[in-house]
Amino acid sequence: MKCVRCVDCGFLSQGIKHWEAPTRVRELLAMGIFPHEDVHCFKSLWSDLRPREVILNEATKDRPCEEFFRYHPGRSPAAHLTLVEKKQDSLQKWLFWIGGVVAGQLTHIPQAVPILTAWLRKLR
C-alpha cells in the first residue's frame, strides 16, 4: 500500500461541521504549524482527543491509509465521499459488464469443442 499524508487527503476537515480544510490550513500543517481551527479526519481514522502535537504529526507524516482520496480544492469532505462512491459504482459497473462478456463467451466453449475437434481431425 502506498504511503500518503493526511494533508493531501480530501477527508481532512476543520471545525465541528467538518468543512473543507482550505489550502491555508493544509499549508500550515505541512510547515509544522497547528492552525487555529480544529482539524479532523472526516472518516474518523484518527482520534481528535489527542494533543495537537500528536495530531500535527499524524496529519503530516507519510503512512499507509486505505481510505485516502486525493484532495480536490473547493470540495468538502462530504463531496469527496460522493466522488469515492461514484468511482466505486463505476468500477462495479465495469466489472459486471466484463463478467457478463466473459460468461457469455464461456457458454460458447462447449459448442465449439466438437467443431474444433472435427476440424483438427480433418487436418491430419
Phi, psi (deg, nearest 5) at residue 64: -75, 140
Name the residue type at position 4: V
DSSP conformation class of 62: -
Q: Given this model, what pLDDT does residue 47 score?
A: 67
CB-CB contact of 20 with 77 (8 Å): yes
- Cell, residue 56: 500535527
Q: Given this model, what pLDDT does residue 49 score?
A: 65
Q: Greatest CA separation found in the chain?
A: 84
pLDDT digit string, tens, across residues 35-77? 877 888 888 887 666 677 777 888 888 989 888 989 988 888 8
Output the pTM of the full model: 0.61
